[in-house]
Amino acid sequence: DGGITQSPKYLFRKEGQNVTLSCEQNLNHDAMYWYRQDPGQGLRLIYYSQIVNDFQKGDIAEGYSVSREKKESFPLTVTSAQKNPTAFYLCASSSTRHNEQFFGPGTRLTVL
Amino acid sequence: SQKIEQNSEALNIQEGKTATLTCNYTNYSPAYLQWYRQDPGRGPVFLLLIRENEKEKRKERLKVTFDTTLKQSLFHITASQPADSATYLCALRAGSARQLTFGSGTQLTVLP
């Protein structure tokens, strides 16, 4: 069953802590993306990666970091430098030839 | 500045009617435009893609138009059903950019 998975579904963090969100895909897609969605707003791009060992900042990269050591995996770390991290985080992937994006189920992060 | 606007935050229509959602953009020259459906607490699901040289695209009860002169895309759902209730997002990719830019979405409610 091909798809994209994110874990955990809900995540709670204390202020000042770093936290890592997992994203895995078995679609053999080259490109992967992280978005943030706040209530009533569209998706804002945090980071994207078009190939293993390479990634680019999106529109709101400050306070976030990523790695792309494997084609299948694109974890996102929310650092303590992110001032307002409570949000719904979505991971997506796409092939290089067909640009529609396939999204994971999302991780809802709450900072306590 | 570049902007994508979806016509309204919420749209209510009666079952069986045609729903029409609008996506307007400024200061973009999009290579193509995409429409996604998002249910509460879930990731978006790709519906349709229309390229800059296409006027119209259809898929079952869905129809998308793209007018690069008006800088507008219209998304139609004919014979709407309560199961069509969701938030619909438009997204566009400009030029050679790999990343999509999303609108904030229109929440459609189809009343039985």
Q: What is the mean pLDDT of each run of 10 residues along chain B (112 residues)?
A: 80 96 88 93 95 92 94 96 97 76 94 94
Q: What is the DSSP string of B27-84?
A: S--EEEEEEEEE-TTS--EEEEEEETT-SEEEETTEEEEEETTTTEEEEEESS--GGG
> How far is A26 from chain B, CA to nearest CA, in Å?
17
pLDDT at B95: 66
pLDDT at A112: 86
Residue A74 reports pLDDT greater than 60: yes
Residue A40 reports pLDDT greater than 80: no
Q: Which residue of B has its CA nearest to A5?
A: B43
Residue A5 reports pLDDT greater than 60: yes
pLDDT at A98: 54
Whether residues A90 and B34 touch (CB distance < 8 A) is answered with: no
CA nearest to B21, candidates B89, B93, B67: B89
Residues 6+ apart with CB under 8 A from B112: B15, B82
Q: CA–CA separation, A37 vs B1, rounded Å?
A: 21
Q: Which of residues 1-20 of A touch B (CB under 8 A)?
A: none
Q: CA–CA separation, B32 vs B25, rounded Å?
A: 12
Q: CA–CA separation, B82 vs B108, rounded Å?
A: 10
Q: Is the distance from CB of B20 to CB of B10 less than 8 angstroms?
A: no
pLDDT at A46: 96
Whether residues A92 and B43 touch (CB distance < 8 A) is answered with: yes
pLDDT at B39: 96
Whether residues B42 and A50 touch (CB distance < 8 A) is answered with: no
Q: CA–CA separation, A95 vs A30, rounded Å?
A: 6
Residue B105 amino acid letter: G
Residues 6+ apart with CB under 8 A from A57: A47
Q: CA–CA separation, B74 vs B85, rounded Å?
A: 17
- Burial of residue A15, with CB atoms counted within 10 A of its CB: 0-12 exposed, 13-18 middle, 19 or more buried: exposed
A20-34, A50-64, B8-22, B94-108: the lowest-pLDDT one: B94-108
The partner residue sitting opposite A101, judged by closest CB among B46, B103, B104, is B46
Q: Is the distance from CB of A104 to CB of A43 less than 8 angstroms?
A: no
